[in-house]
Amino acid sequence: MRRKIVAGNWKMNGSADLVADLVPTVRKAVAGLDNGVEVVIVPPALYVPQVRAEADPVVAVGVQNLSGYEAGAYTGEISAAMAVDSGCRYALIGHSERRRLFAESDQIAAEKVMRALESGLSAILCVGETLEERDQGRAEQVVEGQVCAGLSGVGPDQWDRVVVAYEPVWAIGTGKTATTDDAQAMHASIRRWLGEMGAPAQDVPLLYGGSVKADNAAALFAEPDVDGGLIGGASLMADEFLSICRAMPVNAGN
C-alpha cells in the first residue's frame, strides 16, 4: 500500500495564536482517524517548534523551503539539518510560488531535494504547468521536465522518502481545480516517468494540490493515482482541513 498523505501548506500565513488554536484541534481529530492518512503541517519555519510541540507525534511537521547549501555564510537561509534538528520530517521543494516569485530553477530544486534526502527528510517536490503552458498543449512536457530534473539525483535507497505534488499553477489559490480526470491523467503520467527513471513508481505517493477543499477532496482522492493532497488556503481552517483529511478513503491506493 502506498502512503496516503494530506499536507497543509500555510505559506506566509499564521501566528502563534493560530498555532495554539488550530494544531491541538487537528491533532486530536487526526488521532481518531482510521483511514491511514498521514497528516503533515507545513507552517512558516519560525513556528515549526511551536507546531511540533502541539502536533507531535500524531501530525508530522515540515518546512516550506530549505537552502541548497549545507551550512555557512548564507544569511536568511535555513538548512536541511536545522529542519531535522527542529523535528521536521518533510520539506516542500520547488513550490510554484518559489519557482515564479523567487526564481527557483529545476536545478536549484534538484539541489534542495538532495539536501533534504541526505539529511533524512522526505522531499515533497512540487511540479505543475501554467495556464499558458496547458493552453499550448505543453502541460505534460513541462511537468515531465520538472519531475525528471528535480529528482535526477535521487539514489536507489532514497526513493522511499520522495513525494511528488502535482499542482497546476492555474489552480493554486484560484478556486479552480483540475477535473478529477485531468488530475488522474497527469498523476498516471508522473508515475510512468518515475518508472522510466528507475524509481519504484508504484510506491511513490503522488499528491494533488490546487484549490483542494472539503467538497472536492473525496472525488480527487478516489482516483487511483491520487494519494493525497497538498492543501493551501483550506489548511488554515481546522474544520475544512480535517474534512479533507477525512475524505481519504480507507482502502485508497494499490
Residues that bind ligand PGA (CB under 6 A): 9, 167, 172-173, 209-212, 230-234
For ligand PGA, give the closer residue by CB, 68 or 209: 209
* Cell 519555519 sits on residue: 45
For ligand PGA, give the closer residue by CB, 62 or 232: 232
Catalytic residue among 38, 95, 129, 187: 95
Task: Using CB positions, name the residue nearest to ligand PGA.
Answer: 232
For ligand PGA, give the closer residue by CB, 172 or 204: 172
Give least dist CB 38 to ligand PGA, A.
17
Give least dist CB 34 to ligand PGA, A.
25
For ligand PGA, give the closer residue by CB, 209 or 253: 209
Q: Report helix, strand or coil for 201.
A: helix
Burial of 142 (0-12, 13-18, 19+ CB in 10 A): middle
Cβ neighbours of residue 226 closer than 8 Å, sequence gap 6 or more: 180, 183, 184, 187, 206, 207, 208, 220
All cell numbers assigned to 102: 523567487
Give least dist CB 10 to ligand PGA, A.
10
Give least dist CB 241 to ligand PGA, A.
10
Whether 187 sits among the annotated catalytic residues: the reply is no
Q: Report helix, strand or coil for 85.
A: helix
**CA–CA distances in Å: residue 185 to residues 16, 93, 98, 130, 171:** 40, 23, 25, 17, 16
On whether the CB atoms of residues 225 and 187 are closer than 8 A, the answer is yes
Whether 118 sits among the annotated catalytic residues: the reply is no
Catalytic residue among 167, 187, 223, 240: 167
Q: Which residues have a catalytic role annotated?
A: 95, 167
